Amino acid sequence: MRTLLSRIGFGLFLAIGLVGIHAATTSADNGKPTYAPVANIKNLMNAINHEEMGLYGMMQADCKSGKLTSAQWNLMRHRAAMLAESGNILMQLDPPKGEAASWRKHAESFREAAKKLKKPMIRRKTDLVMAGLGEVQKQCDACHKAHRPE
């Protein structure tokens, strides 16, 4: 009986603790988790969009390397999804220069260009993936022109 009571007590303690943690990490107005950025714009640009070492550069290098295995195509699709997701992250950040509305529009255009990479990747067409990456780069260049500090 004592073991049962101690288990119930521990379970109750754990449940109260989890409710407290949940309450501390959610917004008071809608119950959804709050967004607290960890990465800054420079972190995203280097990890995601760097032309050699970021996900963008890795996808380019994979396409240029020749025949890709099924595992490489799968990994490239995952990288493309994260490339597109970085557009969502960018929309949450403040631009270093320029209007916030313009920043969000550029980030959205970037995300949409990255999302379009999925179709040629499913078809395993490296030439079309490279063309799609070129479209992503155009979105980057347009945003940099408007929002990149000198």
Q: What is the pLDDT of residues 37-60, one digit of tens each?
A: 888 999 999 999 898 999 999 999
> Does 69 share its domain with 124?
yes
Residues 113 and 135 in one domain: yes
State yes or no: pLDDT of 100 exceeds 80.
yes
The label of the residue with tokens 């960018």 reads: 90
What's this model's pTM, rounded to 2 decimal places? 0.76
From 93, 115, 118, 111, select the one nearest 103 (Cα to Cα): 93
Output the pLDDT for position 33: 77
Residues 29 and 78 in one domain: no
Q: Which domain holds residue 143?
A: 36-147
Task: Pick the range with the lowest mean pLDDT from 32-36, 53-57, 97-101.
Answer: 32-36
Q: Which segment of 20-24, 44-48, 59-63 scores lowest on mean pLDDT? A: 20-24
Q: Looking at the structure, do residues 30 and 66 belong to the same domain, yes or no?
A: no
- The mean pLDDT of 105-128, rounded to a whole number, is 96
CATH code for position 80: 1.20.120
Same domain, 21 and 93: no
Q: What is the number of domains present in the chain?
A: 2
